[in-house]
A and B are shown apart, each in its own frame.
Chain A
Amino acid sequence: NAGVTQTPKFQVLKTGQSMTLQCAQDMNHNSMYWYRQDPGMGLRLIYYSASEGTTDKGEVPNGYNVSRLNKREFSLRLESAAPSQTSVYFCASSEEWGSPLHFGNGTRLTVT
């Protein structure tokens, strides 16, 4: 039982490049989330999917897009990376919207 799996673990991009962060969970959870973590700012919600087939903006959605591919998978896409998007990105899931979160191991992204 792997829980929440994120790929890649590390990524370096140049400004303007695009990439997709992948996330999959095997706990049959309904809700999935993408957070970013920056020093001194805690965890900020980028996008979430309360249930399969729905996605909504969180606190800091600008510059990102998401896809809830199926119940297991929720991807985050950066279309044109900017240095301000240098951060650690965490995917999380929960049984339902508002239930305790289970986090993946994170992706450390650097944009130069």
Chain B
Amino acid sequence: GENVEQHPSTLSVQEGDSAVIKCTYSDSASNYFPWYKQELGKRPQLIIDIRSNVGEKKDQRIAVTLNKTAKHFSLHITETQPEDSAVYFCAASTGTASKLTFGTGTRLQVTL
């Protein structure tokens, strides 16, 4: 089955800096890659997703890039703010034929 590895497990950045979280996946058939943000004590919420027919997607300060050849995808957050502090999960699936497999999460801390 699919295996998703996520790095780093913790990340601390200063407010205004950029943050990058990386994930690798094992199943070359995977074609759907969402990112979820989970604030402390809250539920995971989808923040951005990308499908394999595009290499990059942006939504304001967040962007996701996908390299299908290398089987890795990354979340980029620019101009970080304290409210970006949370745990971020990547996931991968082969779409309607398969379940989502989650990475183990990255705890992002944005310091003032």
Say yes or no for B104: interface residue by CB 8 A criterion: yes
Could you mark each residue 90-109 of chain B with 1 if its beta carbon is under 8 Å from any beta carbon of chain A, else 0? Answer: 00011111111011110000
Among listed B12-20, B44-52, B59-67, B68-76, interface-contacting one: B44-52
Bound Cα distance from A102 to B102, whole angstroms: 15
Do A43 and B96 contact each other (CB < 8 Å), given the known contacts A90-B43, A100-B49, A105-B43?
no
Nearest residue, chain A, Cβ from B43: A103
Say yes or no for B89: interface residue by CB 8 A criterion: yes
Bound Cα distance from A59 to B36, whole angstroms: 19
Nearest residue, chain A, Cβ from B97: A98
Could you mark each residue 57-78 of chain A with 1 if its beta carbon is under 8 Å from any beta carbon of chain B, else 0? Answer: 0110000000000000000000
- Find chain B residues with CB under 8 A from A45 CB: 99-100
User: In chain A, residues 40-57, which have Cβ atoms closer than 8 Å to a Cβ of chain B?
Assistant: 40-45, 48
Q: Are B99 and A43 in contact (CB under 8 A)?
A: no
Could you mark each residue 27-63 of chain B with 1 if its beta carbon is under 8 Å from any beta carbon of chain A, else 0? Answer: 0000010101000001111100100000000000000
Nearest residue, chain A, Cβ from B31: A98
Q: Are B102 and A43 in contact (CB under 8 A)?
A: yes
Bound Cα distance from A98 to B29, whole angstroms: 14
- Find chain A residues with CB under 8 A from B9 CB: 40
Query: Closest CB of chain B to A37's CB: distance in Å?
Result: 8
User: Which residues of A approach B to under 8 Å, CB–CB?
Assistant: 40-45, 48, 58-59, 90, 96-106
Q: Nearest 4 pairs between A and B by C-beta?
A: A98-B96, A103-B43, A42-B102, A42-B104
User: Which residues of B approach A to under 8 Å, CB–CB?
Assistant: 6, 9, 32, 34, 36, 42-46, 49, 89, 93-100, 102-105
7 extra A-B contacts, CB within 8 A, seeds A42-B105, A98-B98, A98-B99: A40-B105, A42-B6, A59-B99, A100-B34, A100-B49, A101-B34, A101-B44
